[in-house]
Structure 1
């Protein structure tokens, strides 16, 4: 297990900051000893909430509570709700109806279908972590969600996973037909980079930061990420798969885009190289954590609970962490990844790190 858990570090970019080995945590409910700050310290966390704000709306939300560094009463549910709603509004404005109307309807059908918005919120939180206002991350947050939505549309198609249900309703290709769904995904990928370039310029983000973030997201969407992971995933269906290959698939297919979301947010926010690499390692671990939890839920939950077809991986004879490790060991690996992710936040301001710390735990504990 230690070799597997440390594997997520093999794929990261070089960093000037050495990594401190993680401590084994026996379960998702038992954080590693010594990780949290003293309990009971009251703080007032002021979160800038200008992401996608409309004229005349409030731009600052006070989220007050007791931050114990692990569970605390930091209002993470409210933080996620405010951020997700703001991202949704920004996406709605970024993608008005146009011609050809059916193509736009197909794009909006999936982009505005809801979801947890983990990736765009991750971009915003990383931007705030390095001390920048969340408004700067608006174009990045939208671009990440467009790329993610593209991957979901394509992933559901008959030539891929052939899934007819997504977020509790018909998949895009079921609702609009295969060729429209395919082109909607392509159009969203192109729009992501156009919107990001134009939006960052309008907000006055330095061009060199925008260019670096564009390169990061481009790599994550293509041969350095989602596309490579998807090819490896399909090529290995029904074949004996090692833990190393399984990790390669999920690092690229799932973790890489989560990583790029956080890294791009930190870049746009003006983080230095050491800060960006800490964010990268944090996000790589929670990206793998997301997939491990997803694998466990696919095996242990119903379609109604998940909002998508449960048991598809088992039916397709895909390699998953529960299949190779067993459910209990997969959960133990998830706990190790959570501990590793939290360790990367220790060098940052505790108040600004609170959303990312809680986001890691949200991913670990999610039920769908």
Structure 2
């Protein structure tokens, strides 16, 4: 029988250790590349969650069919049953009051006075508070409490307000009216407006970290919020929107328009809902279903916005009407036509409700009602 002496055993152990270290170094060096190759991009995942290329073609080729709302609902659908009995207006009023109180307390007056005045002017203006309410409702959907999600709800509204301040600037959408009042830069000047937007962005992250949740879920939440702002979120949508002004309709399609609005509008609605589900202690499956639901209503919000911009007056909207047409921006009515856009609203509403199947009929009611509110809003 063959035997290793002491020196042979030590040499073998040394070579074996070097092999393990080499393999470990190799896999660590290629791990990031493998992750990027194996994991689809955010844009790919978002598109897959909404309309596939085949669905786009089928939708555009289909004829416009007008149906009664009752015919579109399935009997026994938990979302239909819960929305018919849920008192949405008192719910929205109560949640909005809670959010407004929390925002008021989160941004007290201080030095420099002009910056704080501008921040409070922009964020405390009469808004629908759809995003923070979505955050709170999603938290409660998975069993969490409102007070746990309130810091995140306020953070999302701070970032949303920051985006509105910057959207309204002369170098962007050049708007004079927001939420029925002169835009922030019209009142305080462009320099103060830009600085107040930056301050709101910074405060959003600081404020969200006051939520009493585990460190793992806080890191997860911060990552979600940060991603929604940059080149995978708001910035990407805004950049594509600017570069698409005046394009010939023959050069673009529904997927191009969807990319703009999934990133510019839908992503922050999605993030609001996902943050609520994370903070509420939702499981991975619950959070993913909430994410898919929120992507649908996020795009739904923008389609309705485009329709209202074409059909309502400035007085009715509380912001400048028809500005997208004047700027030559891509809109759903411009690409699909008004009737087809209205049909798209119905499709997204149905898809959103479908993703809520499996949740408690009682806890899902606010989100179903919120979907209907977004689909049927008139300003």
Task: Specify the TM-score bucket, using the shorter chain as the normaliser.
Answer: 0.7 to 0.9
From 212, 226, 230, the counterpart of 2:220:
212
Residue in 2 aligned with 1:141?
153
Cα deviation for residue 124 of structure 1 reads 0.2
Secondary structure of the residue aligned to 2:46 is coil
When structure 1 is superposed on structure 2, of 28-37 and 161-170 the one drifting more is 28-37
Aligned match for 2:323, one of 307, 312, 322: 312
Once the two structures are superposed, the pairs formed by residues 63-142 of structure 1 within 5 Å of their partners are 69=81, 71-142=83-154
Contact (CA 8 Å) 2:102, 2:154: kept in 1 or not?
yes
Which has the higher Rg, Structure 1 or Structure 2? 2
In the alignment, the residues of structure 2 paired with residue 273 and residue 179 of structure 1 have an alpha-carbon distance, to the nearest angstrom, of 43
Q: 1:32 offset after TM fit, Å? A: 2.7
SS at match of 2:325: helix
Partner-residue secondary structure (3-state), 1:110: helix
Provide the alpha-carbon RMSD of the alignment: 2.1
Does the CA contact (< 8 Å) of 1:156 and 1:164 recur in 2?
yes
**Deviating runs (4+, > 6 A) in structure 1?**
none
Aligned residues: 322
More helix by share: 2
Which of the residues 12, 36, 46 maps onto 2:46? 12
Q: Deviations over 1:194-253 (max 9, x none)?
A: 0001x21xxx31111111111111111111111110011001111133211110000000
Q: How many angstroms apart in 1 are the aligned matches of 2:337 and 2:148?
A: 43
Structure 1 counterpart of 2:24 = none
Which residue of 2 is the match for residue 282 of structure 1?
Answer: 293
Q: Which segments of 5 or more consecutive residues in structure 1 lack a partner in the other structure?
A: 1-7, 16-20, 39-66
User: How do 1:160-239 residues align onto structure 2 when only pairs under 5 Å count?
Assistant: 160-197=172-209, 199-200=210-211, 204-239=212-247
Aligned to 2:202, what secondary structure does the other structure show? helix
Change (3 A) 1:34 1:237: same
- 1:343 pairs, out of 354, 366, 376, with 354
Structure 1 residues 303-334: Cα deviation after superposition (integer angstroms, max 9, x where no partner): 00000000000000111000010000001011
After superposition, the C-alpha distances for 1:72-117 in whole angstroms (9 at most, x for unaligned) are 1311111110000100000000000010000000000011002100
Partner residue in 1 for 2:365: 354
| Cα distance change, pair 27–185 in 1 and its aligned pair in 2 (3 A) | farther
Length-normalised TM-score, structure 2: 0.81
Q: 1:250 maps to what in 2?
A: 261
Shift of 1:133: 1.1
2:271 matches 1:263: no
**1: distance between equivalents of 2:132 and 2:72?**
28
Structure 1 range deviating more: 68-77 or 117-126: 68-77
TM-score normalized by the length of structure 1 = 0.84
Contact 2:82 2:361 in 1 (8 A): no
2 CA distance for matches of 1:31 and 1:98?
56
Gaps of 5+ in 2: 1-41, 50-54, 60-64
CA contact (8 A) 1:154 1:185 kept: yes
1:37-79 superposed Cα distances (whole Å, 9 cap, x missing partner): 48xxxxxxxxxxxxxxxxxxxxxxxxxxxx9526413111111
